[in-house]
Structure 1
């Protein structure tokens, strides 16, 4: 969530206006088929024309970096090497497009056409071969989660495996609702959260931001702060045992809230990363308070300030993870272990957690509020914007 609104200022680089001469002040959403300009030079091959037409048949957005690459190859194919000056700093869209095009250097138009055709073909082939996402039952009330409850064990599964279970704005509300439902259900003894596919959760989905009015940026940031505070509070106040089943890499908010779980079980293939300062931001999820208590100040600073990515075993040594299991046997070992907990007396579990949590509850609420207030400031700062611009430039 820490990246939820700061990225709004630069997400237009990749989500909007990648096709034409659109400026940052007049961005409008556009369908994937319009990622490229409509003007074509007469020497384009039939294969190139066909690839351009088939680009519009993609069902899934190929992602920010790929869309810029498509634009750059198209321009190189139709116009040749860059022949304009780089746009000014505040023309985010034009600057991103120019940089992508310029990165192709002196590539010939023929080679660019071939690369463009190959890229479109590979995208279509990958989409055709992709495994379909696990579908929830027809009576499921959640669009992005699979929620089941059996013999006292409620499992909340993030269900966007093709997007590495990245969290959309809507998912924050769904996640809160799923926790509220678990808390109110007398049949739920233990609640476990896990991810579908190879990722536990890759943090925030930057494609959230497809219609940003920059004149309302400050209000949007404040609204996001409210969402984040509600989300973290749902974990602080959750009354029953809550277990994270970390089936793969975890990033951002999915890591910071782990300090609010009662147990965190992980495959040894998982990693844990909170790249806040690299993006000009600050901690969330009460991690600024809990991580130093778990790890000590120096180790917590490495994670929260210096962007250190932890292995599962390192996270276990630091107290963030309760136990690590071999990846090959993770699913076979973890669920019987958790199901055994459901046989414990429910009220005893609830009262025990209350005694543990109540001592810190008000402190956690204060920390959550302070973290959100700081992030609202971060999301609207030039410091944050520049850090994210630098981050994307390094990726090229």
Structure 2
């Protein structure tokens, strides 16, 4: 795994943690962070010891989006180039990863930072955290999958309003409207997140990967196609070692031990 002080990595008990670590600039993303995240996500896909991935941040922010200092210098790249080379690959890697990805939003998530969180499988946040589609405030359009994920999560009307106005959404409001899964009290946030990712890491991750793949395709399919896909993936799931272990554990009235195969 690559070393990078701006994006911390750790692996413990099957949980790979990626932590934005630029608190002095509210964990804004530069080229170094973006490319390191891409590489870590690829490595997590290949590493059988990784059974769940956690994305979070240090300090007061989760991620404030793009580091504007990187795109305002005399020889700066075009914003579109950064989107194509930095953010789009991260979003695709998150969605293609055959393991659950949890975003633990510890503070403000703005711009691309908000949309990277929304690309994850499960999003939780501190009650004091907030989400801002900040692009309109500087004349840009929402990127990093924002125009794809947000309308699907909260509906077109709310997504449109939040993207046009750039209004701040509290974690409690985000949970209420279905933007995120849960908002946790600040004082118990770390413990709640740890319990959640440990639970996912101990589950039958092959079946979770099949579920994720079905969800990735659901909005592009009609009911008949989705039913056929469910039957196909259920056939695959029924031939896994974890399925046999789950059934045996149920019949033997014991806790199952899943291996992700």
> TM-score per shorter chain, which class?
0.7 to 0.9
Identify the residue that residue 189 of structure 2 maps to in structure 1.
330
Identify the residue that residue 230 of structure 2 maps to in structure 1.
none
Q: Secondary structure at the match of 1:266?
A: strand
The yes-or-no answer on 1:236 pairing with 2:98 is no
Identify the residue that residue 136 of structure 2 maps to in structure 1.
277
| Aligned residues of 2:83 and 2:143 also touching (Cα < 8 A) | no
| Aligned residues of 2:105 and 2:117 also touching (Cα < 8 A) | no
Q: How far apart are 1:353 and its partner, in Å?
A: 1.3
Identify the residue that residue 192 of structure 1 maps to in structure 2.
54
**2: CA distance between counterparts of 1:148 and 1:360?**
34
343 and 306 in structure 1: CA distance in 2 versus 1, 3 angstrom threshold = same
Q: How far apart are 1:307 and its partner, in Å?
A: 0.8
| Aligned residues of 1:140 and 1:146 also touching (Cα < 8 A) | no
Identify the residue that residue 234 of structure 2 maps to in structure 1.
none
The yes-or-no answer on 1:351 pairing with 2:210 is yes
The yes-or-no answer on 1:266 pairing with 2:125 is yes
Supply the RMSD in Å over aligned alpha carbons. Answer: 2.2
Q: How far apart are 1:276 and its partner, in Å?
A: 1.7
**2: CA distance between counterparts of 1:280 and 1:222?**
13
The yes-or-no answer on 1:341 pairing with 2:200 is yes
Q: Secondary structure at the match of 2:134?
A: coil
Q: How far apart are 1:220 and its partner, in Å?
A: 3.5
Identify the residue that residue 145 of structure 1 maps to in structure 2.
7
Q: How does 1:111-130 map to 2 (within 5 A)?
A: none
Identify the residue that residue 231 of structure 2 maps to in structure 1.
none
Q: How far apart are 1:221 and its partner, in Å?
A: 4.4
Scaled by the length of structure 1, what TM-score is found?
Answer: 0.52
Q: How far apart are 1:237 and its partner, in Å?
A: 2.0
Q: How far apart are 1:326 and its partner, in Å?
A: 0.6
1:249 to 108, 128, 141: 108
Residue correspondences, number: 220
Q: Which consecutive unaligned segments of at least 5 residues does structure 2 have?
A: 222-261
**1: CA distance between counterparts of 2:172 and 2:197?**
20
**1: CA distance between counterparts of 2:186 and 2:64?**
18
2:78 to 215, 220, 225: 220
354 and 143 in structure 1: CA distance in 2 versus 1, 3 angstrom threshold = same
The yes-or-no answer on 1:307 pairing with 2:166 is yes
Question: Greater share of strand residues, 1 or 2?
Answer: 2
**1: CA distance between counterparts of 2:198 and 2:220?**
28
Q: How does 1:49-68 map to 2 (within 5 A)?
A: none
User: What are the superposed Cα offsets for residues 251-290 of structure 1, whole Å, 9 maximum, x if unpaired?
Assistant: 1111123332110111001010012222111111222132
Of 332-341 and 309-318, deviating more is: 332-341
Identify the residue that residue 50 of structure 1 maps to in structure 2.
none
Q: Secondary structure at the match of 2:62?
A: coil
Identify the residue that residue 4 of structure 1 maps to in structure 2.
none
174 and 316 in structure 1: CA distance in 2 versus 1, 3 angstrom threshold = same
| Aligned residues of 1:236 and 1:361 also touching (Cα < 8 A) | no
Q: How does 1:5-16 map to 2 (within 5 A)?
A: none
Q: Secondary structure at the match of 1:193?
A: strand
